């Protein structure tokens, strides 16, 4: 009997000690329903067991912050009475198991997080990581299906996918990363929190029927390593229905417009269990849920299944009893199911009833606050994970002539044109998109008053593997640099920490250092973290992924019509370098092509130099002194210059010191800009825009048609 129960909690992902703690806290054994609920609420995914303490290091305060970490999404004030809510979240393991639906529901989930705070989703961005596409059919398959899945959901629901990034590294071969970020726009006063309130108020479930999909997704998929036999986990992946979500979204936004809701919460990981516990926890109240009132997609579902189902396109809200009629009317108009499934109580308990009979009764506090948090035991600085060193065998075979290196870099999957991917996304629906993918370093979306917001998502696992602290800070710098290139000033950050198994000392060290790096980067630029997500246990039998913190950043520019561009514009413009730039080949794309494993250190740059360079570019773009601006990232200065030529369809000639490291990298700190000579006084000019060739005098000269042919072909679908 005991043996049976023991194996049950282990199967659900709880350790023996955690189970003992539950028994101690409850002063009894949990029943089956309760154990299922607790196993999810105490999973890494829901409880942040290994990261909660670390995350306290991140700066969260800032003058523009309206909603901070802990809400469904963070939000910042963008002026004119408007708020922008945003968040990034991972859907890595579902996508590794079933890429199309995994990615689609990743988008669906992050959209719900944003409209749960009352904001209308206006943009999606994605950060993707796969294994090497040239060598791995699996990686090409995952890329193809993940991109299709993102498009399926975003295009259909009518939210533009305006940007993103993709990197390919062997360490993601089994465990791909799919991080989706969403931004929403709301009148400031419409932002709503998720705390349940008002004893006697009614708990209403909105949206799709509840089925057996995604049972235990948070614990089975999101909180354990991937391994053999994952095919069998497919039933744990949910199926997305963007049309249902479109109706649900319009319904929720109208309910909020009419001020009919006390609070609103999306149903994501751990379904009703998590939504009800979170709402009760934040409100300091209790919630009763009667599972017999939940509309089901299939008969015979057990109470525990109903409580933990991760069926998509559902929201939970709290309504005052006298507003129920109005709520029903709005839901009917949007063909959205609304079921009265419970009520707010003063018990401090989440009680699960089945036709009135109590089948589960847990203190809210135990569900949301009592899960033990674990100290990491970092030990690091050693060599990066073994799987990533395999490529070292190829060392020494890389090209050497600058011309050949440039062509090899432009052709390489990490730098090649992303057009084959972003053309599969609707980037312009809703008519706000001022800068489309490939037109600028950040997406730009106009606001009603003529100003605009800019958004970028960035992270480079190879560089974080080299040097977790500087690599993570660099991701923050690069995001801010992307914003500077369109003339925007950062307002807030969201982040997704994708790491391996934190119980391994090396991974614990990477995680600790990377969080420190993000904190340092954000402090240096004075930009707060308003929310995020942690995805651990990204491992496969060959080892952990590269440590991959992904940074999403939102900024603002005063005049949408002056948003910066990536491409060179005018024949005869002077080209200049901005920033303290000491590029190094460590962790660079060229080093990767030459077969070097990642190793540090990365360049260290005093934060005031980073800040200054970004300010100069931002002001130059705003004043229209600069006709283009592009941050120097993967592939170094040579690739950055080539990209400016290709985006503008015009050549350039530059002269550089003979020992200049053309392909060295130090992302986020230095920029290629161009403009009329007389407006670039005081800039470090290096050449001129013009002609049909890209030339670095004495080093390389190539027609831009050849460059574009090579760059366009690198990521073409098979």
Partner 1 sequence: MVGDAVPLWHAERDLKGVEAVIVPGGFSYGDYLRAGAIARFAPVMEDVIEFAQEGGLVLGICNGFQVLCEAGLLPGALLPNASLRFVCRQVELEVLDPDTSFTRACARGQRLSVPVKHTTGRYYSPDPVHALLRYAPGQNPNGSQDDIAGVCNEQGNVFGLMPHPEHAVDPLTGSTDGLRIFESIRAEIDDRVVA
One character per residue 105-144, x = contact with partner 1 (rule: CB under 8 A): ----------------------------------------
Q: Counting contacts by CB under 8 A, is residue 432 touching partner 1? A: yes
- The residue annotated as part of the active site, out of 45, 50, 93, 630, is 45
Cβ neighbours, 10 Å, residue 79: 15
Site for partner 1, residues 444 to 473, rule: CB under 8 A: 446
Rounded Cα distance between 311 and 132, Å, is 33
Dump the DSSP string for 89-142: EE-HHHHHHSHHHHHHHHHHHHHHHHHTTTPEEEEEEEEEEES-TTT-HHHHHH
Of 7, 15, 373, 561, which one interacts with partner 1 (CB under 8 A)? 561
Q: Point out which span in 417-425, 524-532, 584-592, 662-670 binds partner 1 (CB under 8 A).
A: 417-425
Instruction: Pick the closer one to partner 1 by CB: 601 or 717.
Output: 717
Asked whether position 426 contacts partner 1 by CB under 8 A, the answer is yes
User: Minimum Å distance from CB 640 to partner 1?
Assistant: 25
Least CB distance from residue 481 to partner 1, whole Å? 24
**Alpha-helix residue ranges (DSSP H) falling in 452-588:** 461-466, 468-486, 505-525
Question: 671 with 581: CB under 8 angstroms?
Answer: no
Nearer to partner 1, 115 or 537 (CB): 115
Helix (H) or strand (E) holding 685: strand 684-689
The catalytic position among 9, 50, 64, 91 is 91
Residue 433 in contact with partner 1, rule: CB under 8 A = yes
CB atoms within 10 A of CB 137: 10
List the interface residues with partner 1, window 470-489 (CB under 8 A). Answer: none
Helix and strand tally (H, E) in the chain? 22, 28
Residue 385 sits in the site that holds partner 1 (CB under 8 A): no
Task: Report if residue 308 touches partner 1, rule: CB under 8 A.
Answer: no
Which one of the spans 155-163, 180-188, 274-282, 547-555 is the region binding partner 1 (CB under 8 A)?
A: 155-163
Distance CA 417, CA 61 (A): 37
264-288 b/e (C-beta count within 10 Å ≥ 16 → b):
bbbbbbbbbbbbbbbbbbbbebbbb
State the minimum distance, in angstroms, from the CB of residue 26 to partner 1.
Answer: 44
423 neighbors 445 (Cβ within 8 angstroms) = no
Phi, psi angles (nearest 5°) of residue 254: -70, -40
CB contact set of 425 (below 8 Å; sequence gap of 6+) = 147, 150, 151, 154, 155, 160, 161, 437
Tell me which of 15, 134, 234, 243 binds partner 1, using CB under 8 A. Answer: 243
Distances (CA, A) of 119 to 84, 468, 529, 530: 7, 34, 19, 15
Task: Name, in order, each residue with C-beta under 8 angstroms of 682's C-beta and a sequence gap of 6 or more.
Answer: none
Residue 434 vs 650, nearer CB to partner 1: 434
What is the distance between the alpha carbons of residues 209 and 314, in angstroms, rounded to a whole number? 8
Phi, psi dihedrals of residue 179, rounded to the nearest 5°: -110, 125
Selected from 156, 292, 584, 677, the binder of partner 1 by CB under 8 A is: 156
Residue 435 DSSP SS3: strand
Rule CB under 8 A: choose which of 43, 139, 155, 538 binds partner 1: 155
For residue 384, state whether it binds partner 1 (rule: CB under 8 A).
no
Query: What is the rounded distance in angstroms from the CA atom of residue 710 to the CA atom of residue 694?
Result: 14
What does the alpha-carbon distance between residue 162 and residue 425 come to, in Å, rounded to a whole number?
A: 8
Cβ within 8 Å of residue 539, ≥6 positions away: 175, 225, 226, 500, 501, 545
Q: Is 45 a catalytic residue?
A: yes
Measured in whole angstroms, the distance separating CA 38 from the mean position of its chain's CA atoms is: 27
Q: Which of 434, 466, 484, 689 binds partner 1 (CB under 8 A)?
A: 434
From the list 177-185, 211-219, 238-246, 510-518, the region that binds partner 1 by CB under 8 A is 238-246
In this chain, which stretch among 56-64, 241-249, 252-260, 469-477 interacts with partner 1, using CB under 8 A? 241-249
Which member of 74, 109, 184, 242 binds partner 1 (CB under 8 A)?
242
Question: How far apart are the C-alpha atoms of 601 and 285, rounded to whole Å?
Answer: 51
* CB 127, min distance to partner 1, A: 19
Tokens of residue 597, six digits: 């494993």
Distances (CA, A) of 375 to 48, 165, 224, 515, 643: 12, 32, 18, 15, 45
* Binding of residue 425 to partner 1 (CB under 8 A): yes
The span of 419-427, 458-466, 488-496, 658-666 binding partner 1 (CB under 8 A) equals 419-427
Coil/strand/helix, residue 463: helix
Of 247 and 411, the one with the shorter C-beta distance to partner 1 is 247
* Vertex 649: Cα angle to 645 and 652 (nearest 5): 40
Question: Which of the ranges 215-223, 427-435, 457-465, 569-577 carries the binding residues for partner 1, by CB under 8 A?
Answer: 427-435
**Cβ closer to partner 1: 392 or 428?**
428
Active site annotation includes 64: no
Residues 244-283 touching partner 1, rule: CB under 8 A, are 244, 246
> Smallest gap, in angstroms, from Cβ of residue 567 to partner 1?
15
Query: Residue 530 in 3-state DSSP?
Result: strand
Per 3-state DSSP, the chain is made up of helix, strand and coil in percentages (nearest 5) of: 40, 25, 40
For position 709 contacting partner 1 by CB under 8 A, the verdict is no
Q: Of 128 and 638, which CB lies nearer to partner 1 in the complex structure?
A: 128
The smaller minimum CB distance to partner 1, of residues 24 and 335, is found at 335
Shortest distance, position 563 Cβ to partner 1, whole Å: 9
| Residue 4 burial (CB count, 10 A) | 7
Cβ 491 to partner 1 shortest distance, Å = 21
* Near partner 1 by CB under 8 A: residue from 131, 151, 184, 283: 151
Nearer to partner 1, 419 or 701 (CB): 419
The number of residues that bind partner 1 (CB under 8 A) is 26
Give the interface segment with partner 1, choosing from 163-171, 365-373, 391-399, 423-431 (CB under 8 A): 423-431
Shortest Å distance, C-beta 711 to partner 1: 17
CB 150 → partner 1: shortest distance, Å? 10
Closest by CA position to 407, among listed 70, 701, 88, 137: 701
211: contact with partner 1 by CB under 8 A: no
Closer to partner 1 at the Cβ: 523 or 624? Answer: 624
Q: Is 101 in the site for partner 1 (CB under 8 A)?
A: no
Token pair in block for residue 628: 């283009």
Minimum gap (Å) between residue 237 Cβ and partner 1: 19
Stretch that binds partner 1, among 171-179, 374-382, 425-433, 462-470 (CB under 8 A): 425-433
**Residue 672 in tokens:** 């290629």
Nearer of residues 10 and 333 to partner 1, judged by Cβ: 333
Listed ranges 106-114, 150-158, 309-317, 395-403: which one lies at the site for partner 1 (CB under 8 A): 150-158
- Residues that bind partner 1 in the complex, under the rule CB under 8 A: 148, 151, 155-158, 241-244, 246, 422-429, 431-434, 446, 560-561
Catalytic residues: 45, 91
């Amino acid at each position: 009997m005991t043996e049976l129960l023991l194996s049950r909690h282990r199967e659900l992902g709880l350790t023996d000690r955690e189970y003992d703690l539950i028994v101690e806290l409850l002063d009894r054994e949990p029943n089956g329903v309760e154990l299922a609920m607790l196993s999810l609420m105490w999973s890494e995914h829901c409880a942040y067991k290994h990261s909660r303490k670390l995350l306290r290091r991140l700066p969260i305060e800032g003058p523009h912050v309206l909603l901070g970490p802990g809400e469904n999404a963070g939000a910042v004030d963008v002026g004119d009475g408007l708020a922008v809510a945003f968040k990034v979240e991972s859907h890595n393991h579902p996508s590794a198991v079933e890429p199309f639906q995994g990615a689609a529901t990743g988008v669906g989930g992050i959209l719900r997080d944003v409209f749960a705070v009352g904001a209308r989703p206006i943009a999606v961005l994605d950060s993707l990581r796969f294994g090497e596409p040239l060598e791995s059919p699996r990686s090409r398959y995952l890329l193809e299906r993940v991109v299709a899945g993102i498009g399926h959901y975003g295009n259909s629901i009518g939210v533009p996918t305006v940007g993103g990034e993709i990197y390919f590294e062997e360490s993601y071969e089994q465990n791909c990363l799919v991080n989706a970020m969403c931004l929403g726009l709301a009148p400031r006063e419409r932002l709503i929190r998720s705390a349940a309130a008002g004893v006697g108020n009614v708990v209403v479930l909105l949206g799709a029927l509840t089925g057996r999909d995604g049972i235990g997704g948070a614990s089975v998929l999101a909180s354990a390593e991937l391994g053999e036999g994952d095919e069998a986990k497919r039933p744990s992946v949910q199926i997305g229905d963007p049309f249902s979500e479109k109706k649900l979204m319009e319904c929720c936004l109208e309910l909020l417009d009419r001020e009919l809701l006390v609070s609103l919460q999306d149903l994501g990981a751990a379904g009703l269990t998590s939504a009800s516990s979170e709402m009760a926890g934040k409100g300091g109240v209790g919630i009763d849920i009667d599972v017999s009132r939940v509309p089901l997609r299939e008969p015979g579902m057990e109470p525990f299944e109903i409580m933990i189902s991760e069926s998509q396109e559902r929201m939970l809200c709290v309504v005052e009893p006298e507003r129920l009629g109005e709520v029903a009317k709005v839901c009917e108009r949007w063909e959205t199911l609304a079921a009265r499934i419970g009520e707010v109580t003063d018990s401090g308990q989440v009680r699960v009833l089945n036709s009135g009979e109590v089948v589960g009764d847990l203190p809210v506090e135990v569900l949301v606050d009592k899960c033990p948090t674990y100290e990491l035991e970092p030990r690091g600085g050693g060599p990066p994970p073994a799987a990533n060193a395999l490529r070292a065998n190829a060392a020494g075979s890389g090209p050497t002539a600058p011309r050949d290196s440039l062509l090899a870099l432009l052709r390489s999957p990490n730098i090649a044109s992303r057009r084959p991917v972003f053309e599969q996304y609707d980037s312009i629906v809703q008519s706000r998109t001022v800068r489309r993918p490939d037109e600028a370093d950040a997406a730009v979306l106009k606001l009603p008053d003529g100003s605009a917001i800019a958004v970028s998502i960035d992270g480079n696992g190879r560089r974080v593997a080299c040097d977790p602290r500087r690599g993570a800070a660099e991701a923050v710098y690069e995001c801010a640099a992307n914003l500077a290139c369109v003339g925007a000033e950062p307002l807030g950050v969201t982040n997704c920490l994708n790491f391996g198994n934190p119980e391994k000392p090396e991974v614990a060290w990477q995680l600790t250092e990377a969080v420190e790096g993000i904190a340092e980067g954000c402090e240096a630029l004075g930009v707060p973290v308003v929310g995020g997500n942690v995805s651990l246990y990204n491992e496969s039998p060959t080892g952990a992924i590269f440590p991959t913190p992904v940074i999403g950043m939102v900024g603002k520019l005063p005049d949408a019509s002056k948003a910066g561009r990536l491409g060179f514009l005018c024949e005869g413009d002077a080209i200049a370098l901005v920033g303290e730039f000491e590029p190094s080949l460590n962790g660079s794309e060229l080093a990767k092509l030459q077969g070097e494993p990642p190793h540090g250190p990365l360049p260290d740059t005093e934060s005031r130099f980073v800040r200054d360079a970004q300010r100069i570019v931002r002001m130059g773009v705003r004043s229209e002194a600069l006709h283009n601006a592009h941050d120097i990232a993967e592939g170094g200065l040579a690739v950055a210059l080539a990209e400016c030529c290709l985006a503008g369809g015009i050549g350039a000639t530059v002269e550089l010191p003979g020992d200049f490291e053309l392909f060295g990298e130090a992302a986020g700190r230095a920029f290629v800009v161009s403009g009329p000579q007389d407006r670039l006084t005081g800039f470090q000019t290096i050449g001129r825009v013009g002609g049909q060739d890209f030339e670095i005098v004495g080093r390389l000269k190539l027609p831009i048609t050849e460059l574009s042919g090579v760059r366009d072909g690198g990521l073409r679908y098979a």
